[in-house]
Amino acid sequence: MANAVETPSQNNLMTEGSIVKSLQQEMDEGRIRKVPLRMVFLTFYSLLTFPFLIRGLSMRILREENESFDDILNEWKPNITRQMQHLLSLEPAG
């Protein structure tokens, strides 16, 4: 009898392998800039994790009066998208 229950990895369309394949396909088809995939992932995960790594420092020296860490993160979020767009865009920066 076949396994009737799918595991999360079988059911998840955005597994690591499919993300890599999708990015590579987009690069091969010329829709996004060809960048080594390890640089894409290092950049992305650095943008996600670095604010948490320097939380104490940022709260001591970068925080404005009455500003919370959540406020800083909310200001940071659009930067993640902009940086990834800049990295992968075919258009020159300007």
DSSP code, position 14:
T
Q: Contact at 8 Å (CB) between 23 and 40?
A: yes
Instruction: Give the pLDDT confidence of 8-19 residue by residue, as tens digits.
Output: 554 454 566 788
Instruction: Give the pLDDT confidence of 69-92 residue by residue, as tens digits.
Output: 999 999 999 999 999 999 999 987
Own/partner contacts of 74-83, CB < 8 Å, gap of 24 or more, are 76/51, 79/47, 80/44, 80/47, 80/48, 83/43, 83/47
- The type of residue at 56 is G
DSSP code, position 58:
I
pTM summary value: 0.73
Q: Contact at 8 Å (CB) between 57 and 74?
A: no
